[in-house]
Amino acid sequence: MSFRARALKRVHDNRDKKLAGGYNSIPFGYKRLQQFIPGVQKSNIVLMTANSGVGKSKLCKNMYVFRPFDFVHRNPHLNIKLSTLYFCLEEPGEAFVHSLWCYKLRELHKLRISIKELRSQLNPDDPTAMVSTDILGKIDDLQDYTDEFEKSVMLIDDVRHPYGIYRRCVDFLESVGDYDMEPVKFWNKATGKMETKIVKGPYFTTHPDHYVQIIIDHVSLIEPEKGQDLFEAIRTLSNRYLVSLRNRYHCSIVVVQQQASDKEKQQYTYKGASIESKLEPSLDGLGDCKLTQRDADEIFGIFAPDRYEIKEHRGYDITQLQDNYRSYLFLKTRDGEANKRLAFFFDGATNFLAELPPADKMDSDAYAKALRLAGR
């Protein structure tokens, strides 16, 4: 099939799916955000970037793991299958499950409990400071949900090399799909004749609507192959392996990448005012390897102005929202508009995220609602 024929088929197939009440992506459930990024998309690379300590991993879990899984889990009639290979380079799989429970306890029971509280690690001198039996009972009630989650989300914390990551992904893809075999003619020098051999053609999943998502958190923690430095390892992973997984295997890929450490350095005007634009994430501020931006279809940065004692950010009162405010800046969208911003309420303890109204709609009631979400 020619590229034109494939492109036309995709347009018609996607339209037909919408007409039948289906989806061409797995939505996040954030209406304003989905005007820029519709959700988990096949054949797509997303790069999330921010300075250290902003909550990149927690935000990634919320947007690309917890909410997409819940959408598929709650809508079995859509016949969507989602498999996520999450390479936990920053935390063990056990901690990931703890964060899932904190998220669900808030969603289902309006309980705000952090991982440290869940593990009974706070107030070590107080023998009564431990997770309650009520919370333990609610976690037990999540057993079936957690079992289903672990069937869909594979937490991988023992593979860190670029080729090892790629090989683990391909092994999984070949277990859930196959290739169309195609004849190719070639000149055989030994026989002096044109001959035909059968080679692997386009890949397809056995399930008709299977999303295979690959998440790397975060890329600067990969281990270089022998003879490589970190820059070369990240470049190889991104340009050779992740691009292949997107183009050949139609994977949805999310890469978490820190900004360079010098982006943390606060700069000022001659009047002593902070230059916010120097602190916000940027493409040239990507840490360890800036070339990853070439391979990504979508890049967005996350900014937390409270950590720099900024009192107002693009019309939002940070003195009220404090560290619960996050600004999303769309640095690159291959099929849409860049340099757009959205504001979110964020609670890092529970991986909770909610869109804030536009700044000109943030009245006293909106701020009060945000403070209630923060437990303040």
167-178 residue pLDDT tens: 999 999 999 999
Q: pTM of this prediction?
A: 0.91
Domain containing residue 316: CATH number: 3.40.50.300
Average pLDDT score over residue span 323-350: 90
Count CB atoms within 10 A of the CB of residue 156. Answer: 20
Tell me how far apart the alpha carbons of residues 246 and 211 are, in angstroms, rounded to a whole number.
12
Q: Is there a contact between 281 and 49 (Cβ–Cβ < 8 Å)?
A: yes
Phi, psi of 30, rounded to the nearest 5 degrees: -105, 105
Q: Look at 160 and 261; give whichever has higher pLDDT.
A: 160
Flag whether 200 is in a domain: no
Flag whether 212 is in a domain: yes
Q: Is pLDDT above 80 for 337?
A: no
Flag whether 18 is in a domain: no
Count CB atoms within 10 A of the CB of residue 31. Answer: 9
Question: How many domains in the chain?
Answer: 1
Flag whether 119 is in a domain: yes
Flag whether 27 is in a domain: no
Count CB atoms within 10 A of the CB of residue 38. Answer: 16
Domain region containing 329: 44-174+208-373
Flag whether 34 is in a domain: no
Flag whether 182 is in a domain: no
Count CB atoms within 10 A of the CB of residue 320. Answer: 17
SS3 for 246-259, per residue? HHCCCCEEEEEEEE
71-130 residue pLDDT tens: 999 999 999 999 999 999 988 889 999 999 999 999 999 999 999 999 999 999 999 999
Flag whether 89 is in a domain: yes
Residue bearing tokens 């902070």: 274
265-301 residue pLDDT tens: 666 555 555 567 788 999 999 999 999 999 999 999 9
Q: Is there a contact between 283 and 300 (Cβ–Cβ < 8 Å)?
A: no
Tell me how far apart the alpha carbons of residues 169 and 154 are, in angstroms, rounded to a whole number.
11
